[in-house]
Structure 1
Amino acid sequence: MRFQLTDEQQALRAAVRDVVGRFLSAGPSWLVAARGGADKGHSPAPLVDRGLWSALGELGVFSLRLPEAEGGAGLGLPEAVLVFEELGWALVPGPLVATHLAAGVVPGAATGEAVVAAADGSLVEWLDEADVVMPGAEGAVAMRSVDPLTPVHRVPAPARVEPVAVLLTAAEQLGTAGRVCGLAVQHARTREQFGQPIGAFQAVKHLCAQSLVRVEVARAAVYAAAVTGDAVDIAAARLLADEAAVRGARDCLQVHGGMGFTWESEVHLHLKRAWVRARRGGGGTESEELLAADLAGRAS
């Protein structure tokens, strides 16, 4: 299977990176809030950047898979995966997956005018900031989130998780994995110890190389699942993407040392976001069970 992107897919990915990049270059409000809360000695108040949310709506991020007759772009899962990979790379906060899935169902979701929250397994993210909350989040109880920029609530009855939601989460994880791999390599090239870049040391080389391998393996799995849409392929992609994001972020922290935990660095935020995403849909357990059942069925 070849994964050579078409000119249209490359243009879509570039457009998303350009829009998100303009907000990042101006100083993302969510990162400013996080650092401000840390300076004052308390956890920051999470927020959805409404300006960026509207810009993503205008770009068609949320309406991407809606038919053209309904005001969407009429594109498919491969294009959605490319978009969500970029959003994960940029650490964009907010219920991106829930709002994307609500396009065409909830008024304003497709255009970015409405922020939509939905239960994903036993958790629901951004409940208090949402304009619309989908059924299934009744009785949710606030929890302390490891990611200061992703508020979470626990719901009493776990909700069914759509395979598309799992795949788009995997795409976000893939974006994070690619980002932290790049950050690790960049730091290894510029940070010097004993008169030479730390990237010259074998242990650091191994961390960067292993991170890159995990990224490329996960990318192949996520892209393949986007093409097939098969639930088993999606489960495998989710597990590989989770591993690439979490282990990649941990190794990136190792390369950066103590400075990776400071608010001047974004590295620890990528790790915390990867941890939270890895708990969506009840964690990887359901994906592991689905994959194991398929393998057992083939063996028998």
Structure 2
Amino acid sequence: MRFQLTGEQQALRAAVRDVVGRFLSAGPSWPVAPRAGAAKEYSPAPLVDRGLWSALGELGVFSLRLPEAEGGAGLGLPEAVLVFEELGWALVPGPLVATHLAAGVVPGAATGETVVAAADGSLVEWLDEADVVMPGAEGAVAMRSVDPLTPVHRVPAPARVEPVAVLLTAAEQLGTAGRVCGLAVQHARTREQFGQPIGAFQAVKHLCAQSLVRVEVARAAVYAAAVTGDAVDIAAARLLADEAAVRGARGCLQVHGGMGFTWESEVHLHLKRAWVRARRGGGGTESEELLAADLAGRAG
């Protein structure tokens, strides 16, 4: 299976990065409003950037997979994965997956006029910021989130998780994994100790190399799952993407040292966002069980 992107797919990815970049204050990776809030205290009042949300809707991020007859672009999962990889790379906050899945069902979701939240397993993200909350989030109780930019609520009865939601979450994780790998390499090249870049030291080289390997393995799995749409492929992609994002962000934090924990740095926010995403749908347990059942069936 080949994953050479078409010219249209490359243009779509570039358009998303350009639109998101125009709404970010300090490079293409830091949301404006959440940055200001997070610097004040650990648990700020989160805000969805409605201007960015509308711009994403105008670009077609939420209506991407709707048929052209319904006002969408008529594209498929491969294109959606590319878009959500970019959104994860840029650390864009908000219930992106839920709003995307609600396009064509909830009025205004496709155009970015309506922010939609939905239960994903036992959690609901951005409940208080949503205009519409999908069924299944009744009785949700607020929790303290490890990510100050992603408020979460726990629901008493875990909701069913759609495979597409799992795949798009994996795509976001892939974007984070790619971003933190790049940040680690950049810092290793420029930060000097003992008269040379820290990237010259073997331990740092290994951290960067391992991160890159995990990114490329996860990318192959996520892109393949987008092509096949198979539930087992999606489960494998999710596990690999979670590992690439979390371990990559931890390695990036180690490369940056103490400065990676400061509000001036985005590194710790990538790690915290990766942790929260890894808990969607009950964590990786369902994906592990699906893979185990498939392997047992093949062996039997």
Q: What band does the TM-score fall into relative to the shorter chain?
A: over 0.9
Q: 1:258 to 1:184 in 2, by over 3 A?
A: same
The answer on whether the counterparts of 1:118 and 1:135 sit within 8 Å (CA) in structure 2 is: yes
Cα distance in 2 between the residues matched to 1:138 and 1:197? 53
Q: 1:30 to 1:117 in 2, by over 3 A?
A: farther
For residues 164-189 of structure 1, the C-alpha deviation after alignment (integer angstroms, 9 at most, x for no partner) is 00000000000000000000000000
Of 6-15 and 40-49, deviating more is 40-49
The answer on whether the counterparts of 1:89 and 1:179 sit within 8 Å (CA) in structure 2 is: yes
For residues 34-67 of structure 1, the C-alpha deviation after alignment (integer angstroms, 9 at most, x for no partner) is 4544554452211101000000000000000000
Q: Is 2:217 the counterpart of 1:233?
A: no
The answer on whether the counterparts of 1:30 and 1:49 sit within 8 Å (CA) in structure 2 is: no
2:184 aligns to what? 184
Give, in angstroms, the shift of residue 111 of structure 1. Answer: 0.1
The answer on whether the counterparts of 1:30 and 1:149 sit within 8 Å (CA) in structure 2 is: no
Cα distance in 1 between the residues matched to 2:161 and 2:31? 29
Cα distance in 1 between the residues matched to 2:142 and 2:191? 41
Give, in angstroms, the shift of residue 3 of structure 1. Answer: 0.2
Runs of 4+ in 1 over 3 A off after TM superposition: 25-42
Cα distance in 1 between the residues matched to 2:125 and 2:282? 13
Percent identity, aligned pairs only, is 97
The answer on whether the counterparts of 2:30 and 2:91 sit within 8 Å (CA) in structure 1 is: no
For residues 17-46 of structure 1, the C-alpha deviation after alignment (integer angstroms, 9 at most, x for no partner) is 110111124679974544544554452211
Cα distance in 1 between the residues matched to 2:268 and 2:23? 20
1:276 aligns to what SS in structure 2?
helix
1:142 aligns to what SS in structure 2?
strand
2:110 aligns to what SS in structure 1?
coil
Consecutive unaligned residues in structure 2, runs of 5 or more:
none
Q: 1:216 to 1:70 in 2, by over 3 A?
A: same
2:87 aligns to what? 87
The answer on whether the counterparts of 1:180 and 1:252 sit within 8 Å (CA) in structure 2 is: yes
Cα distance in 2 between the residues matched to 1:35 and 1:68? 37
Give, in angstroms, the shift of residue 299 of structure 1. Answer: 0.9
Give, in angstroms, the shift of residue 72 of structure 1. Answer: 0.1
1:74 aligns to what? 74
Consecutive unaligned residues in structure 1, runs of 5 or more:
none
Cα distance in 2 between the residues matched to 1:258 and 1:30? 19
Cα distance in 2 between the residues matched to 1:237 and 1:158? 22
Give, in angstroms, the shift of residue 215 of structure 1. Answer: 0.1
Cα distance in 2 between the residues matched to 1:255 and 1:28? 21
Q: 1:188 to 1:76 in 2, by over 3 A?
A: same
RMSD: 1.5
Give, in angstroms, the shift of residue 93 of structure 1. Answer: 0.3
Q: 1:31 to 1:25 in 2, by over 3 A?
A: closer
Cα distance in 2 between the residues matched to 1:42 and 1:224? 38
For residues 239-291 of structure 1, the C-alpha deviation after alignment (integer angstroms, 9 at most, x for no partner) is 00000000000000000000000000000000000000000000000000000
Q: 1:29 to 1:219 in 2, by over 3 A?
A: closer
1:133 aligns to what? 133
The answer on whether the counterparts of 2:138 and 2:155 sit within 8 Å (CA) in structure 1 is: yes
2:124 aligns to what SS in structure 1?
strand
Q: 1:35 to 1:59 in 2, by over 3 A?
A: closer
TM-score (structure 1 length as normaliser): 0.97
TM-score (structure 2 length as normaliser): 0.97
The answer on whether the counterparts of 2:38 and 2:148 sit within 8 Å (CA) in structure 1 is: no
2:24 aligns to what SS in structure 1?
helix
For residues 121-170 of structure 1, the C-alpha deviation after alignment (integer angstroms, 9 at most, x for no partner) is 00000000000000000000000000000000000000000000000000
How do residues 2-151 of structure 1 correspond to structure 2 at under 5 angstroms? 2-25=2-25, 31-37=31-37, 39-151=39-151
Count of residues in Structure 1 that have an aligned counterpart in Structure 2 = 300
Give, in angstroms, the shift of residue 237 of structure 1. Answer: 0.1
Cα distance in 2 between the residues matched to 1:139 and 1:62? 27
Cα distance in 1 between the residues matched to 2:131 and 2:218? 34
The answer on whether the counterparts of 2:147 and 2:269 sit within 8 Å (CA) in structure 1 is: yes
The answer on whether the counterparts of 1:147 and 1:269 sit within 8 Å (CA) in structure 2 is: yes
The answer on whether the counterparts of 2:23 and 2:31 sit within 8 Å (CA) in structure 1 is: no
Q: 1:122 to 1:44 in 2, by over 3 A?
A: same
The answer on whether the counterparts of 1:173 and 1:245 sit within 8 Å (CA) in structure 2 is: yes
